[in-house]
Amino acid sequence: MTQQQSVQDALGEKSGFQIWWRMLRPHTLTASFVPVWIGTAAASMDTSIHIGLFLAMLIASMLIQAATNMFNEYYDFVKGLDTEESVGIGGTIVRDGIPPSQVRNLAFIFYGIAILLGFYICFETTFWIAVIGLVSMLFGYLYTGGPYPIAYTPFGELFSGFFMGTVIIGISYFIQTGNVTSEIVWLSIPAAILIGAIMLSNNIRDLEGDQENGRQTIAILVGRHKAIRVLALFFLTALTLPVIFISLGMMPIWGLLTWLSGIKAYKAYQTFKQNNTPLEMMPAMKFTAQTNTIFGILFGLSFILEHLTNWLI
């Protein structure tokens, strides 16, 4: 059995439709679903929800993230970072033989569809949304594209958390209510931190390979063990903020439900501590993504439950 086949078997990779499905990196797409959900759920406290705008925003955000994932795979291949033995990537190019140009072009098509959805959102709200959307798409491309990719610097977690967390939550709230408040900006911070945690966990897993290829991520700069502690700090901060928000009257008591996500966060932390190889650390990546998903769903649900409680009373 070849090294490539061993990696494919270990990752459970199959042929056919799953090749294209893996290219989207579906386990990461909750990072675009969660912010739209939180922004919309928070808006439900102030107005009735426009379902068309919610769906357009949701689909556009997921398309942009999927395209970003494709650009990531394309440019990592072009720069020689991904090989047949690389763990954690979609493997569409290096293991499945899909032409790199096809992956890149599909990413641009996804961007095009997202732009069309953006026009619908703009017609229903304001064309300033187009400016913000285009800037976000540009940074999505520059994350691994361009001469100085953001993903190769210590700022990958910051940029991904800000644009995929704070910006998307703010837009999702704005298109429903017509304004952006200081509260929604504060409320976006836990989601932004957990999206950054997904990127950090990815960089912890890929630390050795990234270091060999000249990247300067946080994980590389502080070392593996300290990076795991930073990840734990991300988790603790995200879980603590809802308690502060509740005490300040910014979110309902239902926000305490977000602590249920701490189970997955603890599993991610322990798995990283107890394992050393990229393949062994793959479950930790999954637990980190699940932490973001569970936390985000419960965070948004707290507003829906409060809204329903007030309506029933």
Q: Which domains, ranges and CATH numbers included, belong to the chain?
A: 28-299 (1.10.600)
The reported pLDDT for the residue numbered 90 is 58
Query: Dmax over Cα atoms in the chain, in whole Å?
Result: 65
Residue 259 pLDDT > 60: yes
Q: Could you give the residue ranges of the DSSP H alpha helices within the chain?
A: 3-11, 17-23, 30-43, 51-78, 100-124, 128-142, 156-161, 168-177, 182-187, 189-205, 207-212, 218-222, 224-247, 262-274, 278-312
User: Which residues make Cβ contacts (< 8 Å) with residue 134, sequence separation at least 6?
Assistant: none
The mean pLDDT value for 163-176 works out to 94
Of these ranges, 26-35, 124-133, 230-239, 299-308, the one predicted with the greatest mean pLDDT is 230-239
pLDDT band, residue 127 (cuts 50/70/90): confident
Closest CA to 196 of 167, 235, 229: 235
The reported pLDDT for the residue numbered 17 is 56
Residue 123 corresponds to which tokens in the numbers above?
A: 């017609």
pLDDT top residue among 209 and 3: 209
pLDDT band, residue 74 (cuts 50/70/90): confident
Question: How far, CA to CA in Å, does 217 sit from each of 38, 74, 112, 118?
Answer: 28, 19, 30, 32
The reported pLDDT for the residue numbered 268 is 97
Residue 49 pLDDT > 80: yes
pTM exceeds cut of 0.85: yes
The reported pLDDT for the residue numbered 85 is 55
pLDDT band, residue 6 (cuts 50/70/90): very low
pLDDT band, residue 130 (cuts 50/70/90): confident
Residue 252 pLDDT > 50: yes
Considering the chain, what is the average pLDDT of its residues? Answer: 86
User: Which residues make Cβ contacts (< 8 Å) with residue 3, sequence separation at least 6?
Assistant: 84, 85
Render 57-91 in DSSP notation, one character per residue: HHHHHHHHHHHHHHHHHHHHHHTT---TT-SSS--
Q: What is the DSSP letter of 146?
A: S
Residue 38 corresponds to which tokens in the numbers above?
A: 């939180």
Residue 119 pLDDT > 80: yes
- Length of the chain measured in residues: 313
For 14-44, write each residue's pLDDT tens digit. 555 566 677 777 767 888 899 999 999 999 9
User: Which residues make Cβ contacts (< 8 Å) with residue 285, sequence separation at least 6?
Assistant: 27, 88, 198, 201, 202, 205, 268
